[in-house]
Amino acid sequence: MPIYHLGFDDTDSLKMGCTTYIAALLIDRLYKRSRFIDYPNLIRLNPNIPWKSRGNAAICLRFESDCGAEELLELATEYVENYRDRDDPKNQPGIAIFQADAIPDGLQTFGKRALSEVVSIDEALKVIEGCGVKYRMIRGGRGIIGALAAIGNTLNGDHTFELAVYRGRELWGKKREVDHESVRRYDIEMGNETFNNIDSESKRLLVTPHGPDPVLFGIRGETPSLLMRALDMIKFAGGERWVIYRSNQGTDAHLSQKRRIGMLKPYMAAAVEGKICSKPVKIHGGHVISRLSDGSGEIDIAAYEPTGGFRNVLVALVPGDSVMAYGGVKVHEQEGLTLNLERLELLELVALKERNPICSNCGNRMKSEGKGKGFQCRRCGRKEGGKKVEETRGISVGNYLPPPEAMRHLTKPQIRYGREKAGWAGLPEVFYGSF
């Protein structure tokens, strides 16, 4: 049987729908006449795109089937039309199907670019024409970019898995019933095999979305077998069906491109190495701004209030510190480009000047009595010997991340460092079911 790669995107809106839910319905329909050669692929694209609906997720289903490409394209179009938000003009679905044993380099390159850049519909159509992809574009069809990018991202490097549990249509828009304590127990028992279930700072539950969409909850982890245990361990009500996806979530896939400041463009995701060139400042709202230079230009780097304690790392930096800044490029009318930080790696810290010691009696900074004569406290008069001391920085070389509730879907959490995968081979085990 021929192998098909079926991609689709932009089927939802902020008010309703979910691209992965359409995938779940299609999987149920296709499974009877198809043999899946991979887990359903959930591909998170560039999170800085301003017209995305929520998490900017696209789907690719890879399977063998005795159906023809046109028949499969019509089937996917039928499901998208039935479940998309017809009232929202920003909803512009795209559907693409590609018949091939392997994905050509040009299509893979396009998929990789869509993780960190802004790509156009015209660029997508050129790739479609060059590769012979069949497609549908609905109401402008901007989703064809994500549909094609999902096909091109084959997840042949690092990847994770997600168990998504969906609720029945009668429950959309209602409060989700997922037991917090059972999620906490699952999180503890699975240890490093799962991530971003509960925020470490606020203790807030992270597995449940907040919109009126079909998703009841989602659990992310390293292996499908351990995610399956969540179906038994986590207590919930109203589940309709479930799917396990293979994904680029939690891999930093969007931040793999190191870029020069002078080459940055709005809405890019980038990694920029440079030196701090101005003292960080706190601005209204609790946000922290500093400035980075790499010889090709300068750019503001920002840690915003929702990132919590992560802002303290930026506050502690001084001009001359070498860093690798990771994040999304945003445009501000007056300030120009700003890199909104998702991660900050401190490469080298400058040594601060030596200062007079602190009085052991009252804690005040002491005054030198002259070379070799020790120090005297201006406040309490205490005299002490000793020498000047190097001021401590309060930070050290290393990798720093915001708390989980402030992370994007693609950001790699600290718990995953050293656990990166080198591709996947084989056939998927059981990856979907209903309640």
> What is the number of helices (H) and of strands (E) in the chain?
9, 24
Alpha-carbon distance 71 to 79, whole Å? Answer: 13
- Residue 124 is predicted with a pLDDT of 98
Instruction: Say whether 337 sits in a helix, a strand or coil.
Output: strand
Which of 428, 341, 323, 384 minimizes the C-alpha distance to 31? 428
53 token code pair: 């609906």
Alpha-carbon distance 151 to 94, whole Å? Answer: 12
Angle 268-269-275 from CA coordinates, rounded to 5° = 105
Q: What is the mean pLDDT of the chain?
A: 93
pTM, two decimals, is 0.90
Rounded mean pLDDT, 139-158: 96
Is residue 5 within 8 Å of residue 98, measured between CB atoms?
yes
Confidence label for 86 from pLDDT (cuts 50, 70 and 90): confident
Rounded mean pLDDT, 364-381: 85
- Residue 248 is predicted with a pLDDT of 98
pLDDT at 302 > cutoff 80: yes
- Residue 235 is predicted with a pLDDT of 98
Rounded mean pLDDT, 109-113: 98
pLDDT at 201 > cutoff 90: no
Alpha-carbon distance 222 to 212, whole Å? Answer: 28
172 token code pair: 């959309």
> Facing residues of 291 across strands?
278, 300
- Residues comprising the chain, all counted: 435
Distances (CA, A) of 294 to 91, 114, 337: 39, 25, 15
- Residue 385 is predicted with a pLDDT of 82
How much of the chain, in percent, has pLDDT values that exceed 90?
Answer: 78
Confidence label for 165 from pLDDT (cuts 50, 70 and 90): very high
pLDDT at 327 > cutoff 80: yes
Q: Which residues contact 334 (CB under 8 A, 6 or more apart)?
A: none
- Residue 20 is predicted with a pLDDT of 96
Q: Name the region of 34 (left: φ>0; alpha: ψ -120 to 50; beta: rest).
A: beta
Which of 405, 330, 410, 300 minimizes the C-alpha distance to 48? 330
Rounded mean pLDDT, 263-280: 96
Alpha-carbon distance 150 to 8, whole Å? Answer: 8
- Residue 55 is predicted with a pLDDT of 83
Beta strands in 224-293 (DSSP E): 236-237, 239-247, 269-282, 288-293
Distances (CA, A) of 253 to 34, 259, 394: 30, 14, 31
Q: Where does 254-351+393-414 sit in CATH, by number?
A: 2.40.50.1010
- Residue 366 is predicted with a pLDDT of 85
Lowest mean pLDDT among 196-205, 231-240, 249-258, 262-271: 196-205
pLDDT at 53 > cutoff 80: no
pLDDT at 358 > cutoff 70: yes
Beta strands in 297-385 (DSSP E): 298-303, 322-332, 336-348, 354-355, 366-368, 375-377, 383-384
pLDDT at 42 > cutoff 80: yes
Distances (CA, A) of 330 to 140, 270, 333, 433: 25, 11, 10, 41
How much of the chain, in percent, has pLDDT values that exceed 70?
Answer: 99
CATH class, range 160-251: alpha beta
Alpha-carbon distance 44 to 21, whole Å? Answer: 15
Q: Where does 3-156 sit in CATH, by number?
A: 3.30.70.2200
Alpha-carbon distance 187 to 172, whole Å? Answer: 26
Confidence label for 344 from pLDDT (cuts 50, 70 and 90): very high
Rounded mean pLDDT, 174-180: 96
Is residue 368 within 8 Å of residue 375, measured between CB atoms?
yes
Is residue 183 within 8 Å of residue 197, measured between CB atoms?
yes
Confidence label for 405 from pLDDT (cuts 50, 70 and 90): very high
Alpha-carbon distance 357 to 364, whole Å? Answer: 9
Which residue is associated with the tokens 């795109």?
49
Which of 115, 116, 212, 228 minimizes the C-alpha distance to 171? 212
419 token code pair: 């656990």
- Residue 390 is predicted with a pLDDT of 66
Rounded mean pLDDT, 336-360: 90
- Residue 370 is predicted with a pLDDT of 84
Rounded mean pLDDT, 226-244: 97
